[in-house]
A and B are shown apart, each in its own frame.
Chain A
Amino acid sequence: MTDRCDSDALNRYLEDELSPEPRRRLGAHLRECASCRLELTELQGVVRLTQRLEIPVMSRFQAEALVHGVRRGVRQRYTSRWGSWTTSLGSAAAGAFALLLFLAAFDRLAGGESDSGLITADLPEAFASSEDAAGGGPTARSAMAAHAWSSIEVDPMADESDAQDAELISDIDEFLMNTASDEELLIQMESLVQEEALLALLTEY
């Protein structure tokens, strides 16, 4: 190119962005400058050649698959983030609960060694005897032991309700094995529900 060659003007001319006066000047230059003429012609050829490349088109199936993939990705990434967060939170809560249980047990144990004696009843007899020898008398200890047991709430109905649950499950299994009618199934389910409601009522009072 000569000194008068102007790359920016060529570029703007190619993009059809040249205003009239610079366009006239470029035209005058191109009439004299063979190398600029060749360059312009070849650059126009590049534009034409590259414009004719095929456009990659998405099929309708590909488009739907992509939408589905985005949905799934969003769900996995942003829900799993929440999920892992809640899992972590759950683990932390479980840990805190376990720690509380441990501290409560430790507190009871410590109390047993000092004055409340809530857990002493759980200790081996020999250990309890040695404590008797070291501290309070056997009468006081046995009173404390009685108190300790009473402080542990045991549901006397627990075993019974477990047995009843097992019996109910067995009934349902047996019924499902032997019954073919939906109507009968509904009746049976209704009676089971009533039975459960009755049990709940009994437990409450």
Chain B
Amino acid sequence: MKPSSPSDPTPDSDTGLIDRFRSGDETAFEEVVRRYQERIFQFVHRVVRDTEEAADITQETFIRAYGKLGGFRGDSSLFTWLYRIALNMSINCLRKRKLRSFVPLWDSTESEFRPDEFRPDEFWAQGGPEEDMAASRLRTRVEEAISGLPPRQRSIFVLRQYDQLSHREIAEVVGSSEGAVRAGYFHALRKLRCALQDCL
């Protein structure tokens, strides 16, 4: 569902929901949760790469949003504001995870990619067990490459590539300029190119 414009005053618009919430209508907040929970979950999942943590962070994002929504000034749109809360929590999660564990989070030998087995045309196609295995390895490889990006760069990449936010919207979420976002996305692409060199 496309987010409504920040200036749209209808009751079902984001602005309308915020107004209803401020006037004491708790159901308005539930509508906000239902409207954005999937997008936030998908974004967080792409950043932290763990379903349980993604669900926890999504839940916590909305709980925090509830406490702060009264003071939401409306300088940005509601969904970029929610993304921002989710992003901060996701980056904190990654930092904690890095502190918690000094060992790799996955066994790289288990999902080792062999370029000689790679047939690009069949890669994503549903085929027999061998093709499925190869496709699965490539997926893991791509996911690992994305996970290898620094958190901020990863977030910019995910917001651009998967959430299809504009540079201006991403700039609002990550709190930087459009130019920095553009450069961050390009650096992310170049790093992925190096990491996935043998798959290209």
Which residue numbers of A lie inside 8 Å of B, CB to CB?
Answer: 7-8, 10-11, 14, 39, 41-43, 45-47, 49-58, 62-63, 65-67, 69-71, 73-74, 77-78
Contacts and interface: CB of A to CB of B under 8 A. Distances in A.
A73 B59 contact: yes
Contact of A53 (B33, B142, B189): B142
Contact of A49 (B67, B142, B162): B142
B88 interface: no
Nearest to B65: A70
B59 A69 contact: yes
- If over half of A's interface residues share one DSSP class (helix, strand or loop), that class is named, otherwise mixed; here it is helix
A71 B199 CA distance: 45
Contacts of A54: 139
Contact of A67 (B33, B42, B183): B33
A65 B41 CA distance: 13
A56 B143 CA distance: 12
Contacts of A52: 124
B200 A70 contact: no
B200 A73 contact: no
Contacts of A71: 30
A57 B138 CA distance: 20
B146 A67 contact: no
A63 B161 CA distance: 24
A66 B67 contact: no
Given A49-B199, A55-B42, A77-B63, 11 more contacts: A8-B186, A11-B183, A11-B189, A46-B193, A47-B161, A50-B157, A56-B45, A57-B38, A58-B38, A65-B55, A67-B34
A47 B139 CA distance: 14
Contacts of A55: 42, 162
Contacts of B189: 11, 14, 43, 46-47
B142 A70 contact: no
Contacts of B182: 8, 11
B61 to A, nearest CB: 9
B66 A53 contact: no
A46 B34 CA distance: 33
